[in-house]
Amino acid sequence: MKRVVTVLVVLVLIGLCAFSCVIGPLGQKWVVQPHVQMAAETFPIGPVRVPNSLMGMLLAGLVLIGLFAAGTRHIRAGRPEAMVPRGLQNLVEAIYEFLANFLRGILGERSEKMLPLLITFFLFILVANWVKLIPGFETIGLIEHAHKGEGHAVRQVGPLLFLTHEKGKYTLIPILRAANTDLNVPLALALISVFMTQVYGVQALGWGYFSRFINIKALTSGGLMGVMNFLVGLLETLSEFTKIISFGFRLFGNIFAGMVLLVVIPSLVPFVAPVAFYILELFVGAVQALVFMMLTAAFTAVATAGHGEHH
Amino acid sequence: MSERKGLGWREGAFLAEAAAQIGCLTVVVILLALGAGLWLDSRLGTKPWFTLGLVLASIPVSLYMVVRLALSAARRAQGRESEESKESKESEESENR
């Protein structure tokens, strides 16, 4: 029976792919050609215009707060059933334990202070990257007059307006956009990451931590090697600034490219093919969240270990 | 690497290098495929086949490359660990003598 079901599923998938290959390009006639904009679009809420990436960020925050508030309600209330976790509490505890153990491997006993920040980085970036895959992101919004470029005509169906592929003077301002497709968000996260690395460095090594950047002692008493050490310190200072840029642009680049892909591919082949890219985006979203957390943890390990120290 | 102490300066820098490479790889491969596909389609008038084919092919390629990179980084990390433990054992033995 299982084999029959498997064969049927494979046959249906092959059929859908064939259908997509034949009908897909024809579907372009009905699809609105994509318009990709790097800066976040703004839409009015009362007297102010709010960027749609902010709405995506708030949604990600609400999902996270809701999940963890619901998952930890028994623990916070001090109820005895919290001792035997069930349902959401199991999920929340499993996520925390996995991440905490992973980070303890990197940071050892230093990790306890840093866990809240690092785990928040991972979960926020993960949820912000994944919520953009919900249908309606970047496709539902307000229709406004197009200020520049080509607009589209609109068609009314009941109370709703739809953009059509015909030329016109209207454009769509989506209400929701993935937070990390707006460069401001990854850069803000990068600034927090690099700033907190310095804070943890000072906490671990005292004010002597800054001697890795400006090493006056080496310059005055170290001879030629001292001068070299001083110059290396200046390079270290520069590298802290490049970290902000690399952190920010890596996350932004990956997620923005994913957004472009999810806009371009359905406009070429509207059926079936986009599914593969949605799966890829799930993977990329998780990898980017993990990479951001791991890099912050690794840089913190470097900052708190002291120059030249290794275990 | 000690479980309690965590990574030191060198291991931390090594991990950062590997993570940074893995973080950039997927997007580079897919954007190259997308760019090449769009260019070929516009030159040959075959829209959307080259774009679709190259981008679809880039998905397993990028996943494979990420896994390869992660595994080779893990192997290099293990090699470094065993070398360092060898060195520390040798230095302990020479101190005992």
Higher pLDDT, A2 or B54: B54
**Quick check: A268 and B48 CB within 8 A?**
yes
Given CB atoms, is A25 within the 8 Å cutoff of chain B?
yes
Element (H, E) at B49: helix B49-96
Q: b vs e for B15-44, b when ≥16 Cβ sit within 10 Å of the residue's Cβ?
A: bbebbbbbbbbbbebbbebbeebbebbeee
Pair A26, A270: CB distance under 8 Å: no
Q: What is the ipTM of this complex?
A: 0.74
- Flag if B16 and A302 touch (Cβ within 8 Å): yes
pLDDT value, residue A166: 79
Among B9, B19, B55, select the one facing A294 at the smallest CB separation: B19
| Full residue range of the structural domain in which residue A225 is found | 30-140+175-305
Residue B71 forms contact with A (CB below 8 Å): no
Say if A61 falls within a structural domain.
yes
What is the mean pLDDT of the segment spanning A135-148?
Answer: 84
Strands (E), A4-147: 42-45, 48-51, 141-145
Give the pLDDT of residue B1.
45
Say yes or no: A161 contacts chain B, CB-CB below 8 A.
no
DSSP letter (8 states) at residue A40: P
Q: Does residue B72 form part of some domain?
A: yes
Question: Rounded to an integer, what distance in angstroms lies between the CA atom of residue B74 and that of residue A294?
Answer: 14
**A190/B contact by beta carbon, under 8 A:** no
Average pLDDT for residues A291-309, to the nearest whole number?
83
The answer to whether A298 contacts B15, with C-beta atoms less than 8 Å apart, is yes
Report yes or no on A136 lying in a domain. yes
Number of domains in chain B: 1
- Weakest mean pLDDT among A19-28, A274-283, B20-29: A19-28
Q: Mind listing the pLDDT tens digit for each residue in A237-279?
A: 999 999 999 999 999 999 998 988 888 888 777 777 788 889 9
Residue of A nearest to B8 (CA): A310
> Quick check: is A235 in a domain?
yes
In a domain, A118, yes or no: yes
Question: Is A71 contained in some domain?
Answer: yes
Q: Chain B within 8 Å of A308 (Cβ-Cβ)?
A: yes
| B4 inside domain | no
In a domain, A25, yes or no: no
Q: What is the pLDDT of residue A310?
A: 47
Select from B22, B55, B56 the Cβ nearest to the Cβ of A287.
B22
If one counts every other C-beta atom within 10 angstroms of the C-beta of residue A232, the result is: 14
Contact B48 A276 (CB under 8 A): no
Decide if B50 is inside a domain.
Answer: yes
Residues of A in contact with B26 (CB under 8 A): 254, 283-284, 287
Domain extent for B54: 9-91
Q: What is the mean pLDDT of residues B49-76?
A: 87
* d(CA A186, nearest CA chain B) in Å: 14
pLDDT digits (tens, 9 = 90+) for A92-123: 999 999 999 999 888 888 888 899 999 999 99
Token representation of residue B58: 């880039």
Closest CA in chain A for residue B46:
A25
Q: How many residues does chain A have?
A: 311
How many domains are there within chain A?
A: 1
pLDDT for A180-201, tens place per residue? 999 999 999 999 999 999 999 9
Q: What is the DSSP string of A135-201?
A: TTTTTSEEEEE--SS-EEEEEEETTEEEEEEEEESEEEEES---GGGSTHHHHHHHHHHHHHHHHHH
Cβ of B9 within 8 Å of Cβ of A309? The answer is: yes
Asked, for residue B1, whether it belongs to a domain, the answer is no
Looking at the domain assignment, is residue A165 inside a domain? no
Question: By the CB < 8 Å criterion, does B52 face chain A?
Answer: yes
Interface of A with B in 268-287 (CB under 8 A): 268-269, 273, 276-277, 280, 283-284, 287
On whether residue A7 sits in a domain, the answer given is no
Can you give the pTM of this predicted structure? 0.83
Distance CA(A89)–CA(A73), nearest Å, equals 8
